[in-house]
Chain A
Amino acid sequence: MSPLLFVLIAAFGAAIAAPVARFTGQAAGWLLALIPAFLFISLVQLLPEVADGGVVMQVIEWAPAYGVNLGFRLDGFSVLFSMLITGIGTLVVIYAGTYFSGKEAKDRGRFLAFIILFMTAMLGTVMADDLIVLFVFWEMTSLVSFFLIGFKHEDRAARDSALQSLVVTAGGGMALLGGILLLGSVAGTFSLSEITAQAGDIAQSPLFPAIVVLVLIGAFTKSAQFPFHFWLPNAMAAPTPASAYLHSATMVKLGVYLVARFDTGFGNEPIFYVPLIVFGGITMLIASVQAVRSTGFKAVLAYSTVASLATLIVLVGIPGSDAVKATIGFLVAHALYKAALFFAAGGVIHSTHVYELARLGGLRWKMPMTFIASVLAAISMAGLPLFLGYKAKDLLFTASFGADSLAWWATLCALIMSAAMTMVGLLAAFKPFWLKAPYGEVKLYHGESFGMALPPLVLGALGLLFGVAPFLLWGPVMEPAIAALYGAPTAPVDAYVIPHVDARLLLTIGLLAAGLGLVWLWTRMHRDPDSLRPRFMLADFCYNKVMGGVEIAAPKLAKPLQTGTLRSYIGATVGVTVVGVAFALIGFEGAMIEAALIEPIRPYAVLILIFVLMGVAVAAFARSVLITIIGVGIVGYGMALLFLINGAPDVAFTQFTVETLFLVILVAVLLRIPLGSALHRPLKKRPRSAIAAIGFGAATTLSILAMNALNFDPRLSEYFGEVSYAEAHGRNVVNVILVDFRALDTLGEIAVVAFATLAVWALLRRRTPEKEAGQ
């Protein structure tokens, strides 16, 4: 199956989700899960093709003029990611069908459609080879995430969180687009594989630091890395199936995916990998502390997700094949146990309507399947032997110990993060189920349902299965991904999950002890009901300050600009025009003066020009509006005379006619209202108007002289002169142009006149209030 087909099938699933949900009721989740399941099986069948560095390419021309192609590329890493997307996607769809079983079919359909649409976007992102295509799908995931976080749109907090995530991730997307465009201009292609191939040259470009900064902003916003980490915990306002899928297992890993892809080519450039290790480490520390401080069930899990994403970012940053192995191992292990824990949390919250982890307890016999699933996932998360998580942690420490630079920093962060993760795992598994509820027994609204207990059980069990039977996972799935990411074959991973009796065992025991200590600390900290109130978050506070500042600054900026006074708008337009023209004309004076003096002076014309100037003076300085009208009329008739003596009798007669008509209309209208010398202000009182007017007049004069100095291109005029009689059988060339060559324009002109007439008529026939009163 070609990559594009995967995306199309997923898109088809999104399109049919809502109607299917409406007609099939409770079975909708199970039925719709067939689509991701089918895609997952197709991916499994693709595995042999990508083993040993195989690649499936598909390129369809999209916009060849811009070098943008609908390019897709499937290698080991893409297939692994796609399997996570479709595999967890299958479970999410089943889970969501049950999660929304009590809700209206409309809501269920909407949610399932969004989930499958999201899956489409994710598949597109990880299968794209062309960076523009990748960006389009990348932004699509941000948008769908916005809709899912704001799914409970009646809730203000959900709306605010949705907007926050959109501002952060789509804002980062803009930076990413900038980076991609720069990269494209340096590399001459948008193809990721071609860019990777010439990475060494690109890294020499002076633009490379800018590219790195922009791409990293895109990746850090998406994967919630410091200083953009704050949006992810707020995104927990989304329904839990979305949290499990988007904000833990897949979408937030796109940032990791992106930097991992770039790492294949640029992994040895310090400017690229040092920020990854530094910022990832900072995020690990912040998220570990926040995980201990948080009390919400989903919030604790969300901070542990931020910490895990940070771990992946650091692992991508560390050069060498060990780090690549750890990246892949941790990626898969995390996706399995974290999605399971989210599923379990959602099940508990759904049954008890309690959102605070601190309030929960004693549910082990009431929700046994969820309990077992949580324990399985938690052990993997805590990194205990026999589980996949153990191997992931083992690889993580191998990589951080062995880092060439910043090894101490990476190891320190990894230690603290691992202790916090152990705590989160143990808390999530035992606090709601085993420990006593501190605020009285938790009321159960309904027992666990199969559709919501099965998905976490499956994922939890997979964590154990892949631990004890590593050959199922590592050989066929992980090794091709590692090879694709590293760019070269590596020694196979020793996937053994029974610890030797050595320093590693000591580390495992130490981390478990630290985790238990943190659990004790956490339960002590949150025993008091006061500790359950929302906490101050610096990053959130800064975000709100910035957004609030925008809201305050916008009117402050808009009010002076939007005065509502016509004069200020005209003044601004005139000012900008004058300055622009002045700049354009700099350096043109010589040619202008030379060209202006060539032609001889014609006495007639001078007389008419003086006549026009008199009209101008009358119009500008008259006290009475009626006298001004006369001045404007003089200018109009003078213009007509100028046309007449320059070989344009048709224009002249039109001008005479129009000018006369205009005067008649004006006088007719103005006779109805008392004008007098109302509002007249002499020139002395209007210095700024005078300056603007003189500036504009001067700009006009100079522009005409500049225009005159340019070479004249007579081709069009000559063409009309030659073909007027030959083709249109008319001797008056001006008329022929108007009614034949440019007939459509003339039709438009007639339409304008007609509409203006209609508008004038409509306005003038309105009755005045007095007349109405009189009748």
Chain B
Amino acid sequence: MILLYAITVGAVMAAGVYMMLDRNVFRIMLGLALVATGVNLIIFLAGRLGPVDPAIISTGTYALMEGAANPLPQALVLTAIVIGFSLTALACVLAYEATRTLGTLDADAMTAARDEGDPFGSEPAETR
């Protein structure tokens, strides 16, 4: 089973990287979102598959029973999901603002910084 999960996550990551290598800033951003999703599942898989009961201590007992899922990766993934969401939301808005301000969707055409000049070009005048 882990083999199928691993292949699926690999496909998600491959698609994410493929999109991040695009020129359209929105595809880049969506690629980032895909990679973030894939990473969440990797963290989850690190806690191993197997038990499928939620990690809840049932009434009358005082500790987690056999057969309950590993709670630690779940807690980590929860955090990661929310942070990933913040990241992609911010990236989305940045991409939107960049597109609107620069009038292009093409990441290669966003050269405002490069147009400032070559850092190796003319040196500032030497004051003696």
Contact = CB atoms under 8 A, between A and B. Distances in A.
Interface in B57-99: 57-59, 62-64, 68-72, 74-75, 77-79, 81-90, 92-94, 96-97, 99
B125 interface: no
A734 B120 contact: no
Contact of B38 (A558, A669, A700, A718): A700
B63 A721 contact: yes
Contacts of A655: 40, 81
A704 B45 contact: yes
A243 to B, nearest CB: 23
Interface in A668-708: 669-670, 672-673, 675, 678-681, 686, 689-690, 692-694, 696-698, 700-702, 704-705, 707-708
A742 interface: yes
Nearest to B48: A712
Contact of B54 (A649, A670, A686): A649
A753 B86 contact: yes
A591 interface: no
Contacts of A635: 12, 34, 37
B105 A639 contact: no
B10 A686 contact: no
A567 B111 contact: no
A567 B93 contact: no
Interface residues of B, number: 90
B15 A651 contact: no
B33 A620 contact: no
Interface in A340-394: none
Interface in B1-57: 1-15, 17-24, 26-28, 30, 33-34, 37-38, 40-42, 44-57
Contacts of A571: 21
Contacts, number: 295
A614 to B, nearest CB: 10
A679 B105 contact: yes
A760 B89 contact: yes
A678 B56 CA distance: 49
Given A678-B105, A689-B22, A756-B89, A599 B75 contact: no
Given A672-B96, A697-B13, A749 B45 contact: no
A619 B81 contact: no
A701 B6 contact: yes
A721 B46 contact: no
Contacts of B1: 599-602, 605
B24 A732 contact: no
Nearest to A690: B18
A45 interface: no
B83 A749 contact: yes
A537 interface: no
A609 B8 contact: yes
A763 interface: yes
A737 B72 contact: yes
A724 interface: yes
A260 B126 CA distance: 44
B13 to A, nearest CB: 4
Contact of B24 (A678, A759, A768): A678
A738 B47 CA distance: 16
Nearest to B77: A651
A567 B6 contact: no
Contacts of A718: 64
A749 B79 contact: yes
A669 B45 contact: no
Given A559-B120, A733-B56, A756-B87, A619 B34 contact: yes
Interface in A745-770: 745-746, 749, 752-753, 755-757, 759-760, 763-764, 766, 768
B113 to A, nearest CB: 7
Interface string A726-741: 1000011110011000
Given A692-B17, A733-B71, A722 B4 contact: no
B63 A662 contact: no
A408 interface: no
Interface string A113-157: 000000000000000000000000000000000000000001010
A492 interface: no
A654 B78 CA distance: 7
A686 B18 CA distance: 9
Contact of A632 (B6, B30, B40, B93): B30
Interface stretch (A91-99, A286-294, A640-648): A640-648
B17 to A, nearest CB: 4
B47 A717 contact: yes
Contact of A763 (B26, B78, B97): B97
Contacts of B75: 734, 737-738, 742
Interface centre among A675, A680, A696, A705 (most CB of B within 10 A): A696
Given A647-B54, A733-B57, A567 B23 contact: yes
B25 to A, nearest CB: 9
Given A717-B72, A756-B86, A669 B9 contact: no
Contacts of A570: 17, 20-21
B122 to A, nearest CB: 13
B15 A665 contact: no
Contact of B92 (A600, A666, A737): A666
B126 A156 contact: yes
Contacts of A645: 52
Contacts of A692: 17-18, 21
A753 B22 CA distance: 27
B44 A156 contact: no
A721 B10 CA distance: 31
Contacts of B100: 672-673, 768
A620 B31 CA distance: 9
A10 B6 CA distance: 67
Contacts of B7: 701
Contact of A705 (B6, B38, B74): B6
A207 B93 CA distance: 59
B2 A599 contact: yes
A669 B93 contact: yes
A566 interface: yes
Contacts of B94: 763
B40 to A, nearest CB: 7
A24 B64 CA distance: 79
B2 A647 contact: no
A716 B75 CA distance: 13
Nearest to A735: B75
Contacts of B88: 662
B55 A732 contact: yes
Contacts of A697: 10-15, 17
A620 B52 contact: no
Contact of A658 (B6, B51, B85, B92): B85
B14 A696 contact: yes
A672 B3 CA distance: 42
B120 A599 contact: no
* Best-surrounded residue of B50, B82, B84 (most CB of chain A within 10 A): B82
**Among the interface residues A559, A595, A681, A707, which one has the most CB atoms of the partner chain B within 10 A?**
A707
B4 A605 contact: yes
13 contacts: A156-B126, A599-B2, A619-B34, A647-B54, A647-B68, A662-B33, A662-B89, A669-B92, A670-B26, A721-B63, A725-B57, A753-B85, A759-B90
Given A599-B2, A620-B19, A658-B84, 8 more contacts: A566-B107, A612-B11, A620-B18, A693-B17, A697-B14, A697-B15, A732-B55, A737-B72
